[in-house]
Structure 1
Amino acid sequence: MKITLALGIAAIGLMSNGAHAATQRWKGPLAEASAACLQQDSAALAQIQRAAQSGSYDGVVAMAAYWACKGDPASAKPWLVKASGMGSGWASQVLAHYLRRDPASAANTEQQIRFLTRAALQGNAWSARELSVLYLNGAPGLAADPRRASYWARYAEDVKEIVPDTFYLAESYAKGWGVPKNAQKAKELYAETFHTLQQATADGDPYADMLFFLAYSKGYGVPKDHKKALHWLQQAAEKGYPEAVAELKVLSNGGKSHE
């Protein structure tokens, strides 16, 4: 049976060393990019462009995030590639996410592994989990390899991020992944996870808002609730989170959620 990652779009999410660190990091280049994109701040955009052209790390990341926010992968990719090469795990992860939208092929799988591995080594735990799932299930041009899957799963646990480990334990008990199914245990762990995320969103972290959107839209630990999902998505967008802004644009145009 194929196992999929619990929160797909969080592959784009900005991983960091805990909720407070994520909130602090959010005040950097991605926040600047969102101001330029969401508020159509021409002065902010001009500043980002100057910084990016000068080769500044923050400028390059912000330029990539600006185009990602605009929903323009073609313009975003050159900056993402540059940011990835400069050490941005976020950029490496977004590149892998874009590849997942392309037709499946051995070449596509090879490129996904390249960027996911780079992102994982740059401290992006979600990408390590993506690698674990790829190696567990196999993909075009890639035979299943439980040994490598286990390695990346363990690697991910050593990288601290905003998503609490209790979430993955909850999923395991809810789905019976490696442990007997235990609905009550899963419920308790989900509750602990959401408490942590509530603290993060109270601190102003839009990534936590996005995770609540995913939980309610997909029914992870809570009943599916479109109204609540939209509330959290709008809250993330109001804080300028690029992927939330892009997702709202898709939904407002009558499209299907990428989640």
Structure 2
Amino acid sequence: MKSRFISLVLMTLCSSVALANCYDKKASTDSNYQRCSQEALEGDSIAQYYMAQMYRKGDGVTKDDKEALRWYRKAAAQKNRLAQFNLGWMYDTGEGVEVNPEEAIAWYGEAAKQGDQYAPYNIGFLYYTGSGVTVDFAKAQFWFLVARLNGNPKVDRWLRKNVARMSDEQKNQAIALFEAWKAEHLPVELSEPTP
């Protein structure tokens, strides 16, 4: 657990340094574009994420969803959680691309593996409402549980609403999926050796 905390602190510090070197809210859009484009071309995933954001919003550049998608993909390929989430969002909502729930779930799932609290919530909601996928209360509950595990403060309401609609079999299925997720995605804490 201690090493996980240290890793999180180091990632945050490294991200802060990279963000400070690329995108500065106080700087002009031209200088942000120049800094971020250079770092993005050098392979920095955070700079690639900001390039995607600039193209998606038209911030200092002409709004271009295809360029935004291209930069998000580059950053997401390097496991940039924010880029993965935003790809999921684009495919979920059809922003700049055709709606594709399977693609949305895939990208949200990648972000969820890295601890994103909103991505699993969004997957759960897709399964809860049947938005582009078959309604599946067990999968919805599983993803809502992952969202809670990842720290989503608003998911409890949906956990209660969904569980009221579930059969015992679906509840057991959701718990089994969740236990398998935890076993695969949570770090194993080593116990102290016994003397």
Q: TM-score range by the shorter chain?
A: 0.5 to 0.7
Deviation (angstroms), 1:134: 1.2
Alpha-carbon distance between aligned partners in 2 of 1:118 and 1:73, rounded to the nearest angstrom: 21
- Whether 2:84 is the aligned partner of 1:92: answer yes
- Paired residues, what number? 149
Alpha-carbon distance between aligned partners in 2 of 1:31 and 1:136, rounded to the nearest angstrom: 41
Q: Is the 8 A contact 1:30 1:61 kept in 2?
A: no
Could you tell me which amino acid in structure 2 is paired with residue 57 of structure 1?
A: S
Question: After the TM superposition, which residues 82-231 of structure 1 pair with which residues of structure 2 at under 5 Å, given as runs?
Answer: 82-102=74-94, 108-140=100-132, 142-160=133-151, 165=153, 167-169=154-156, 171=157, 177=161
Rg larger for: 2
Unaligned runs of 5+ in 2: 1-7, 165-195
Deviation (angstroms), 1:30: 8.3
Q: Is the 8 A contact 2:127 2:140 kept in 1?
A: yes
- Percent identical among aligned pairs is 18
Match of 2:19 in 1: 29
Instruction: Note the aligned Cα RMSD (angstroms).
Output: 3.5
Q: Is the 8 A contact 2:15 2:46 kept in 1?
A: no
Structure of greater relative contact order (alpha carbons < 8 Å, 6+ residues apart):
1
Unaligned runs of 5+ in 1: 1-16, 181-259
TM-score by length of 1: 0.47
1:42 to 15, 19, 30: 30
Alpha-carbon distance between aligned partners in 2 of 1:123 and 1:31, rounded to the nearest angstrom: 25
Alpha-carbon distance between aligned partners in 1 of 2:20 and 2:123, rounded to the nearest angstrom: 25
Where has structure 1 moved over 6 Å in runs of 4 or more? none
Q: Is the 8 A contact 1:90 1:119 kept in 2?
A: yes
Classify the secondary structure of the residue corresponding to 1:75: helix
TM-score by length of 2: 0.61
Alpha-carbon distance between aligned partners in 1 of 2:83 and 2:143, rounded to the nearest angstrom: 19
